[in-house]
Structure 1
Amino acid sequence: MAAGALAVPKLLAGGASAADAMAPSLKTSLDACTPPGDALQGLLERNKRFSKAWQALGEGVSPKKRMALKVSMFEEGCQIDRMALAEGQRPWAALVSCADARVAPEWIFSAGSGELFQVRVAGNNAYDDGIASLEYAVAVLEVPLILVLGHSGCGAVKAAMASEPLTPLLEDLLKPIRASLKSGDDLTQAIEGNARFAAAQLTKRSAVLKEAQANGKVTIKSAFFDIKSGRVSLLD
């Protein structure tokens, strides 16, 4: 903890310097797709758009037609200028989500390149490298929101609940998930509990994130993505 505390002023100083060095015109270009108002509500509104399109992808629809329906939801969105993205980034939300191929944050939140800072790993764990990446996102990029996103049918949580032998690396991966498990929980409850646990770990294990949260510079939430409906629900 002491080492993390010592890193806070250095990171914050670096973030301030980077922000000050960015030209106002570049900031404007990079902020072109940032939703107005609260970032969390912006994510949830974007997800409503995705969920509506996702539920239209019914049986009897060809793969090409399904993709056309998905792409149609982006007609209401926007894309940051590629030349501006070549010069910098100003994401307005950060996600800790599973590496599962069915969980694609840009689709789920109808976002273009440069909008979402992402940390992805099986089981959406709060692992060391991921937390360090989030420290950078908050302290340097000034991202105001971190959302830890669990999802239905998560294989990593299912494996953590089972007793089958795994490789040493997989055992290490599942340790934090197993630490979140509660006796009697079904799979969905365990997935939700794991997302809450990972969100809580961010400030417990990072002085940078703890200070930023205390100062109102970042909000940390957990949520659950239901693959069938395409809906994201906040967790208490």
Structure 2
Amino acid sequence: MSHRPIIALDLPSREEVEKFLNNFPSTESLYVKVGMELFYQEGPEIVKWLKAAGHSVFLDLKLHDIPNTVEHAMKGLAKLGVDMTNVHAAGGIKMMEAAKRGLEAGKPDGSETPVLIAVTQLTSTSEEEMHHDQLINVSLKESVQHYAKCAETAGLNGVVSSALEVGFIKEGTSSEFVCLTPGIRPSGSDAGDQKRVMTPSEAAKIGSDYIVVGRPITQAEEPYQAYLAIKKEWNGEK
């Protein structure tokens, strides 16, 4: 089965999303990421609309609060039928466990519990910034690996991480534990504000389970062709 790259809909409005999706065949079922920019402008209706159109949705809100608040928030998000969502691992094991309980309690009858992953260190964060801004004095690798193990202990499905960290995360967790990799850029493209990036083929070789691609598709002159090229590279197709 061909794996779909997740398209980051980092767009300001439903109108812009509709304009973008008009570049794709109406029969093409996509996996899309709805982040803070879009969700906070359009609210839950944008998720309902995308689901009704036949797309899978990763709701990327990175919840981080006290366990009770996160549990109730996740219960509401699960009712939207999202396929995947996330929290910050820095919220701790109890918070992550609460997030999972909320998703299980809120999911529609007969549906699977959404995939729940945790953010370790943002791909925009350098080791120097982590040391200075967060006062975390271990290496970036150790911090990411520790957060991944905490997420697994809490019963989460996996983590968000740079593809550069997938190998040692996989070494320290179970075979079912997944890694979702943002910051994916086709060869020769601009890295933008991401400091830790890889190409789709590199991410596939190193063991990423999901990849997220934004501007190389959303800002392409021909978004559908750009999507197909990245999908082929991600799946190792010629």
Q: TM-score, with normalisation over the residues of structure 1? A: 0.34
Larger C-alpha radius of gyration, 1 or 2? Answer: 1
TM-score normalised by L of structure 2: 0.34
Q: Which has the higher helix share?
A: 1
